[in-house]
Structure 1
Amino acid sequence: MPLTTLQKWVAIERKTRASPPSKFSLGSAEQLEIMRLRAELEKATIERDMLERATAFFARLSS
Protein backbone atom coordinates (compact mmCIF):
# COMPACT_ATOMS: atom_id res chain seq x y z
CA MET A 1 0.00 0.00 0.00
CA PRO A 2 1.47 3.36 -0.93
CA LEU A 3 2.37 5.60 1.97
CA THR A 4 0.32 8.45 0.52
CA THR A 5 -2.84 6.35 0.78
CA LEU A 6 -2.22 5.74 4.45
CA GLN A 7 -1.45 9.43 4.98
CA LYS A 8 -4.75 10.37 3.34
CA TRP A 9 -6.67 7.98 5.60
CA VAL A 10 -4.96 9.39 8.67
CA ALA A 11 -5.70 12.95 7.59
CA ILE A 12 -9.38 12.14 7.02
CA GLU A 13 -9.65 10.43 10.40
CA ARG A 14 -8.00 13.36 12.17
CA LYS A 15 -10.41 15.81 10.54
CA THR A 16 -13.35 13.63 11.53
CA ARG A 17 -12.22 13.40 15.15
CA ALA A 18 -11.33 17.09 15.36
CA SER A 19 -14.74 18.25 14.19
CA PRO A 20 -16.48 20.60 16.62
CA PRO A 21 -19.09 19.06 18.88
CA SER A 22 -22.63 19.21 17.66
CA LYS A 23 -25.41 20.91 19.57
CA PHE A 24 -26.45 17.42 20.68
CA SER A 25 -23.09 16.56 22.23
CA LEU A 26 -23.09 13.79 24.79
CA GLY A 27 -21.93 13.97 28.38
CA SER A 28 -18.87 12.13 29.59
CA ALA A 29 -20.89 9.20 30.96
CA GLU A 30 -22.52 8.68 27.56
CA GLN A 31 -19.16 8.97 25.81
CA LEU A 32 -17.69 6.33 28.12
CA GLU A 33 -20.66 4.05 27.50
CA ILE A 34 -20.27 4.45 23.73
CA MET A 35 -16.56 3.66 23.97
CA ARG A 36 -17.29 0.57 26.09
CA LEU A 37 -19.96 -0.63 23.69
CA ARG A 38 -17.71 -0.12 20.67
CA ALA A 39 -14.95 -2.14 22.35
CA GLU A 40 -17.45 -4.87 23.21
CA LEU A 41 -18.74 -4.91 19.63
CA GLU A 42 -15.21 -5.15 18.27
CA LYS A 43 -14.48 -8.11 20.56
CA ALA A 44 -17.71 -9.85 19.58
CA THR A 45 -16.96 -9.29 15.89
CA ILE A 46 -13.49 -10.79 16.26
CA GLU A 47 -14.90 -13.78 18.12
CA ARG A 48 -17.57 -14.29 15.45
CA ASP A 49 -14.97 -14.17 12.68
CA MET A 50 -12.78 -16.69 14.51
CA LEU A 51 -15.73 -19.04 14.96
CA GLU A 52 -16.62 -18.77 11.28
CA ARG A 53 -13.05 -19.67 10.32
CA ALA A 54 -12.97 -22.56 12.77
CA THR A 55 -16.27 -23.87 11.44
CA ALA A 56 -14.98 -23.72 7.87
CA PHE A 57 -11.74 -25.42 8.89
CA PHE A 58 -13.48 -28.32 10.62
CA ALA A 59 -16.00 -28.62 7.78
CA ARG A 60 -13.11 -29.10 5.36
CA LEU A 61 -11.56 -31.73 7.64
CA SER A 62 -14.73 -33.78 7.86
CA SER A 63 -15.33 -33.90 4.12
Structure 2
Amino acid sequence: MFSIMHPTWRSVPELLFVFIAGYIFGGLYLRTKSLYLPIWVHGVNNTMLVAVYPYLIK
Protein backbone atom coordinates (compact mmCIF):
# COMPACT_ATOMS: atom_id res chain seq x y z
CA MET A 1 0.00 0.00 0.00
CA PHE A 2 2.81 2.40 0.89
CA SER A 3 4.48 1.99 -2.51
CA ILE A 4 1.18 2.51 -4.34
CA MET A 5 0.73 5.83 -2.51
CA HIS A 6 4.16 7.01 -3.72
CA PRO A 7 3.81 7.12 -7.52
CA THR A 8 6.91 9.31 -8.01
CA TRP A 9 9.15 6.29 -8.53
CA ARG A 10 10.65 6.17 -11.97
CA SER A 11 12.36 2.78 -11.94
CA VAL A 12 12.14 -0.70 -10.48
CA PRO A 13 14.91 -0.03 -7.90
CA GLU A 14 13.04 3.04 -6.65
CA LEU A 15 9.80 1.05 -6.40
CA LEU A 16 11.64 -1.66 -4.49
CA PHE A 17 13.15 0.94 -2.14
CA VAL A 18 9.70 2.42 -1.41
CA PHE A 19 8.24 -1.05 -0.86
CA ILE A 20 11.01 -1.97 1.61
CA ALA A 21 10.65 1.39 3.39
CA GLY A 22 6.91 0.77 3.77
CA TYR A 23 7.62 -2.69 5.15
CA ILE A 24 10.03 -1.20 7.71
CA PHE A 25 7.60 1.58 8.67
CA GLY A 26 4.86 -1.02 9.10
CA GLY A 27 7.15 -3.10 11.30
CA LEU A 28 7.94 -0.05 13.42
CA TYR A 29 4.23 0.57 13.86
CA LEU A 30 3.54 -3.04 14.84
CA ARG A 31 6.41 -3.00 17.31
CA THR A 32 5.53 0.32 18.98
CA LYS A 33 1.74 0.38 18.44
CA SER A 34 2.17 4.07 17.67
CA LEU A 35 2.54 6.13 14.50
CA TYR A 36 5.02 8.57 16.04
CA LEU A 37 8.17 6.56 15.29
CA PRO A 38 7.24 5.56 11.71
CA ILE A 39 6.27 9.16 10.93
CA TRP A 40 9.55 10.44 12.41
CA VAL A 41 11.63 7.88 10.49
CA HIS A 42 9.72 8.72 7.29
CA GLY A 43 10.55 12.41 7.80
CA VAL A 44 14.23 11.71 8.42
CA ASN A 45 14.30 9.45 5.36
CA ASN A 46 12.71 12.13 3.17
CA THR A 47 15.09 14.77 4.50
CA MET A 48 18.08 12.59 3.69
CA LEU A 49 16.79 11.77 0.21
CA VAL A 50 15.97 15.39 -0.69
CA ALA A 51 18.49 17.50 1.22
CA VAL A 52 21.57 15.28 1.65
CA TYR A 53 21.74 12.45 -0.88
CA PRO A 54 21.70 14.65 -4.03
CA TYR A 55 24.86 16.42 -2.81
CA LEU A 56 26.66 13.13 -2.22
CA ILE A 57 26.09 11.97 -5.82
CA LYS A 58 28.05 14.08 -8.29
TM-score in same-fold range (> 0.5)? no
Smaller-chain TM-score range?
0.3 to 0.5
Normalised by the length of structure 1, the TM-score is 0.38
Q: Which structure exhibits the higher relative contact order, with contacts defined as CA atoms closer than 8 Å and separated by 6 or more residues?
A: 2
